[in-house]
Amino acid sequence: MDHFNLGTYRRPISTSSAETQRWFDIGLNWCYGFNHEEGIRCFAKALRTDPDCAFVHWGIAYAAGPFYNLTWKEHGEAEADRA
pLDDT tens, position by position, 11-65: 999 999 999 999 999 999 999 998 999 999 999 999 999 999 999 999 999 999 8
Of the pLDDT bands very low, low, confident and very high (cuts 50, 70, 90), residue 79 is low
- Region label for 34, one of left (φ > 0), alpha (ψ between -120 and 50) or beta (otherwise): left
Nearest residue to 79 via CA among 63, 65, 59? 65
Q: Does 6 or 37 have the greater pLDDT score?
A: 37
**pTM exceeding 0.85:** no
**Domain extent listing, the chain:** 18-82
Of 16, 48, 13, which Cα lies nearest the Cα of 28? 13
Confidence of residue 80 (pLDDT cuts 50, 70, 90): low
